[in-house]
């Protein structure tokens, strides 16, 4: 067991001895301030708070039951009731040696793995994937990788927007003004063109709008021709989505689009009506406040000029069509029946937070027993802005297509690589540029706190200095170059050497390596890949400190050299694993 896990489990048992009914799943240890210890736990303060106990007294009682003599040099109470743990040096060394032997890489599989459905990316058919889709796609993919690394059973599902009113207009366009050659050349651009033209016509001419509605009704009624055109549109869009996913290295277990749930929507609404959860209003059907919450927290109310008014979630339109919420309700039901997940995680733009609050509340009212078995979580995120602080657009003011953005990233990276490493053959420079360019876009999106908006900046994300993907990739390649210079059989050297951690920089690096597991656990708990970005950035910095102060190949003796080589190798492995967990590939040479 890894040291932080040993501390955690000892702490959990000690807490249970003092407070037998406490929920110890939140009693976690985190990296500490090196001045005070290697690890810290603040769990006792929140436990004391909820139970109205004196936190320092609780800490003292827990400490009395805590037996960590074999792991820690000392355990101390600090501040209002923090616990600080200082690891024994021998434990640190043993743990690194086990890692050098390949027994672990500083993380452990979760002791009680969960089944987690993760809903991410979810673009809409007949619209191109734009820059904003990097957010849900990148964050979602990093989270699925991170959760899998920890041994959870993850089911990723791409909830594609492949159903809805836009298809009436698209069908009308397809039947009247389709340009086949253009469709073959760039299907989504042609579908977009159809939509724009017909949409404008519908705005200007009510008769045209009626025609579009009639096409939609035929589609929904299963008309063979319309279904087959719709299928073609969906397949063409999916082809373009798949191209982007394959470039980004993103995989889904399922892509059950909105249309998949269509057969159940009528039943959902009838059931909501029968259970008096929904009611009719002006011909439509909606779910309203049940007054169970104070107005401020009630998702079904909004404040207009100081007055709380209804803000229902519609589940059936007055024309009989169904809403986004209806589909999402059927989707939860299906996911529970099919996979019995412990959690369903939605990686979707924060602008939809109102939708998810309503959705989760309706589900809890609709299927209260099922709702108790699953945690529904909206993992939201902010916008990507341009230099002007407004949503990021092309110079001409259009939305930036994701495919174009990725091309530009790779082209820009190619220029830098060719300047810096002109000696490398072109094919290799191209490959480096691909990894660096895609990595830079993904990393710059994962790095900020996901809820904040961030400003898109090519120079910043592609810089070799600073908290960027190129910097981390370069750090990795530099370590790899050390091993290219020597002829030592690394596995022999590191497996059999005993590690010596003497210099302060060696100790700092070793301690930080040990924190990899805690970091990925924290990412999984809070759905925040930025924790891992910052961890890796610090790792690269600590490695530099070590490398500058502790000669490796020119070490005084073979034992020291091999010990330091082992540290180099472990750093490279953690960097690679960490980047891979963020969905970023590595190159051996840059």
Query: Which chain residues interact with ligand ARG by CB under 6 A?
Result: 119, 122, 124, 159, 161, 328, 331, 346, 348
Nearer to ligand ARG, 346 or 360 (CB): 346
CB of 452 to ligand ARG, least distance (A): 20
Phi, psi of 116 (to 5 degrees): -125, 120
CB of 385 to ligand ARG, least distance (A): 19
Residues 6+ apart with CB under 8 A from 513: 96, 99, 106, 539, 567, 570, 571, 574
Nearer to ligand ARG, 348 or 536 (CB): 348
Per DSSP, the residues of 15-81 read HHHHSTT--GGG---EE--TTT-SEEE-HHHHHHHHHT--HHHHHHHHHHH---TTTEEEEEEETTT
Q: Strand 115-120 vs strand 343-347: parallel, antiparallel, or unpaired?
A: parallel
Nearer to ligand ARG, 107 or 346 (CB): 346
Nearer to ligand ARG, 122 or 530 (CB): 122
Give the residues across from 118 on adjacent strands: 156, 345
CB of 254 to ligand ARG, least distance (A): 12
Nearer to ligand ARG, 323 or 416 (CB): 323
Residue 502 corresponds to which tokens in the numbers above?
């003497």
| Coil vs helix vs strand at 583 | coil
CB of 202 to ligand ARG, least distance (A): 21
Nearer to ligand ARG, 62 or 116 (CB): 116
The 10 Å CB-count burial string (b at 16+, else e) for 482-505 is bbeeeeeebeebbeebebebeeeb
CB of 352 to ligand ARG, least distance (A): 7
CB of 200 to ligand ARG, least distance (A): 22
Nearer to ligand ARG, 27 or 376 (CB): 376
Distance CA 521, CA 121 (A): 23
CB of 392 to ligand ARG, least distance (A): 17
CB of 328 to ligand ARG, least distance (A): 5
Rg of the chain taking only CA atoms, in angstroms: 28
Nearer to ligand ARG, 107 or 360 (CB): 360
Neighbours of 461 (CB within 10 A): 24
Give which of 400, 374, 324, 384 is closest to 350, Cα–Cα. 384
Q: DSSP state, 379? A: E
CB of 161 to ligand ARG, least distance (A): 4
Nearer to ligand ARG, 61 or 119 (CB): 119
Give the distance, in angstroms, between the CA of residue 134 and the centroid of all CA atoms in the same chain. 11
Give which of 504, 501, 507, 578 is closest to 537, Cα–Cα. 578
């Amino acid at each position: 067991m890894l040291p932080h896990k040993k501390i955690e489990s000892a702490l959990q048992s000690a807490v249970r001895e003092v407070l037998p009914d406490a929920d110890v799943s939140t009693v976690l240890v985190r990296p500490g301030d090196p001045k005070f210890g290697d690890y810290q736990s603040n769990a006792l303060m929140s436990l004391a708070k909820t139970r109205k106990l004196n936190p320092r007294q609780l800490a003292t009682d827990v400490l009395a039951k805590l037996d960590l003599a074999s792991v820690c040099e000392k355990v101390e109470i600090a501040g209002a009731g923090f616990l600080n743990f200082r690891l024994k040096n021998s434990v640190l060394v043993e743990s690194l040696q086990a890692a050098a032997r390949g027994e672990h890489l500083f993380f452990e599989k979760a002791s009680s793995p969960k089944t987690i459905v993760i809903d991410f990316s979810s673009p809409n058919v007949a619209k191109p994937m734009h820059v904003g889709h990097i957010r849900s796609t990148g964050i979602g993919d990093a989270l699925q990788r991170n959760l899998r690394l920890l041994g959870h059973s993850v089911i990723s599902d791409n909830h594609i927007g492949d159903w809805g009113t836009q298809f009436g207009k698209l069908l009308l366009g397809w039947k009247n003004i389709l340009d086949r050659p253009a469709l073959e050349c760039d299907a989504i651009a042609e579908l977009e063109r159809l939509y724009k033209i017909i949409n404008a016509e519908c705005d200007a001419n009510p008769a045209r709008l009626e025609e579009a509605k009639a096409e939609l009704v035929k589609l929904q009624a299963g008309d063979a021709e319309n279904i087959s055109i719709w299928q073609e549109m969906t397949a063409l869009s999916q082809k373009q989505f798949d191209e982007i996913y394959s470039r980004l290295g993103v995989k889904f277990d399922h892509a059950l689009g909105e249309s998949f749930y269509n057969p159940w929507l009528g039943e959902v609404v009838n059931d909501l009506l029968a259970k008096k959860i929904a009611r009719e209003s002006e011909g439509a059907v909606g779910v309203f406040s049940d007054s169970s919450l104070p107005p401020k927290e009630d998702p079904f109310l909004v404040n207009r000029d100081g007055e709380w008014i209804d803000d229902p979630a519609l589940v059936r339109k007055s024309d009989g069509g169904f809403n986004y919420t209806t589909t999402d309700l059927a989707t939860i039901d299906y996911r529970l029946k099919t996979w019995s997940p412990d959690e369903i995680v939605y990686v979707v733009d924060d602008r939809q937070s109102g939708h998810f609050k309503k959705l989760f509340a309706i589900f809890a009212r609709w299927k209260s027993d099922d709702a108790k078995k699953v945690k529904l979580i909206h993992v939201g995120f902010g916008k990507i802005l341009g230099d002007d602080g407004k949503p990021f657009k092309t110079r001409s003011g259009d939305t930036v297509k994701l495919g174009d953005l990725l091309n530009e990233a790779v082209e820009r990276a190619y220029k830098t690589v060719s300047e810096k490493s002109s000696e490398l053959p072109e094919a290799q420079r191209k490959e480096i540029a691909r990894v660096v360019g895609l990595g830079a876009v993904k990393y710059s999106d994962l790095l900020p706190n996901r809820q904040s908006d961030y400003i898109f900046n090519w120079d910043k994300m592609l810089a070799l200095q600073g908290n960027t993907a190129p910097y981390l990739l370069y750090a990795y390649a530099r370590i790899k170059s050390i091993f290219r210079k020597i002829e030592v059989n690394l596995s022999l050297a590191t497996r059999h050497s005993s590690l010596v951690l003497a210099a302060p920089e060696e100790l700092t690096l070793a301690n930080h390596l040990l924190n990899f597991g805690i970091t990925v656990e924290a990412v999984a708990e809070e759905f925040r890949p930025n924790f891992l970005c910052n961890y890796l950035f610090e790792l690269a910095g600590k490695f530099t400190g070590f490398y500058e102060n502790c000669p490796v190949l020119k070490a005084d003796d073979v034992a020291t050299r091999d010990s330091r080589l082992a540290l180099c190798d472990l750093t490279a492995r953690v960097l690679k694993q960490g980047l891979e967990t963020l969905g970023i590939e590595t190159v051996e040479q840059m």
